[in-house]
Chain A
């Protein structure tokens, strides 16, 4: 009975565009999108650099990133909590329990994922497009742009996977965000809280929104990656 009334209440909240559900959903989206974008800005150039240039520790870097795919987000949260707390080395920045701390945390565990998967995309594609472009008169950066363009569907899929990981994590968001109402409360942390309180209508509403986001990401990943999915086999 609780399940049925919870789901019914959840639909009423969603259809009625409940202010809190909308606010929490939008915050989740912007925090995760920003962290995903920042991670891409860090990880994509590193993936290209690691693929096209040889340097000591390259294999170690890629191996490390692959290991960090499964990095427990609570561990990142704990680390950041210590670093950003008032007595910690970066306490003076006043970032703890703000959305920026949540962005920082998500960047820490999304970047290795984007770097590792982008490297897999590049490895699956090989250096043929790069050398072909170079031999036809492109500069090095133009040739790298060609490589990106040739597999852009796969790279976008990688970014969406990063977004999915950021949206669905809960441990780090609670530890460094604090789940403060109207300030750092996001879908996952709010869902955990509302379920604990017994407000199943709200919990299901947040869960459904999260499910909608995840399903949209998976669908987009499939559509974008359809044309160049070789890297998935290599992964």
Chain B
């Protein structure tokens, strides 16, 4: 069993008066694949954003690699190791290659190494030849694949994907699973939120069922914190 990546203890989060998360405990370890399941409004996206250090929960504790994330500085450092891809990913203006190189630049990776990584990931997701395409002229499925490529190019420790199978055809889903499998084997922790049970079927996973902001059931090889 890999080391601890992200741990949540007693997480509550509310948007105005609406409670989105109600006392959630969660643990993600290295090389673990977790599928968050539940109906719309169950709190899956909110939980992903908390795991991605993009949302400061109303209460509760967040740990990254065993260290409690208590302030913005620590949150930013942790964010440097985590990538979140939303259900409707936003691509920056410019070409597909620009979209991959900009985040690499933010993480201090430039020049040949940046190009090498970008080319590798584009090939992995069957996006060869898309380098100079304008990001605003892509179809929904292509946008999603580019957003995934942009996340994978950073080789994060934690990868969070919100509804990653939406708008993808079968061959893209298979390529995505292939890519996820290789990341998991490298020790990257992957969490996806989906309302479809059939996704990620060939990968060993832990299923976490959310309902009304609470974890109601866990299934799979490594039941977490409880």
Contact = CB atoms under 8 A, between A and B. Distances in A.
Interface of A: 128-129, 131-139, 142, 146, 149-150
Name the prevailing secondary structure of the A interface residues. Answer: helix
A150 B93 contact: yes
B115 interface: no
A136 B106 contact: yes
Contacts of B52: 135
A149 B83 contact: no
A146 B102 CA distance: 10
Contact of B103 (A129, A136, A149): A136
Interface string B26-61: 000000000000000000000000001010000000
Nearest to A152: B93
Contact of B154 (A128, A137, A142, A150): A137
Interface in B73-107: 76, 79-80, 82-86, 88-90, 92-93, 102-103, 106-107
B144 interface: no
Contact of B92 (A134, A135, A146): A146
A134 B160 CA distance: 14
7 contacts: A132-B89, A138-B103, A139-B76, A139-B106, A149-B92, A149-B93, A150-B92
B150 interface: yes
Contacts, number: 45
Interface of B: 52, 54, 76, 79-80, 82-86, 88-90, 92-93, 102-103, 106-107, 150-151, 154
A-B complex: 8 closest residue pairs judged by Cβ atoms: A136-B103, A128-B90, A137-B106, A135-B84, A132-B90, A137-B107, A138-B106, A137-B80
Given A139-B76, A142-B106, A134 B54 contact: yes
Contact of B86 (A128, A137, A138): A128
B157 to A, nearest CB: 12
A63 to B, nearest CB: 20
A136 B150 contact: yes
Contacts of A129: 90, 92
B118 to A, nearest CB: 13
Contacts of B90: 128-129, 132
B80 A131 contact: no
A138 B52 CA distance: 13
Nearest to B93: A150
A202 to B, nearest CB: 47
Given A135-B84, A136-B102, A150-B93, 8 more contacts: A132-B89, A134-B54, A135-B54, A135-B83, A136-B154, A137-B103, A138-B106, A139-B76
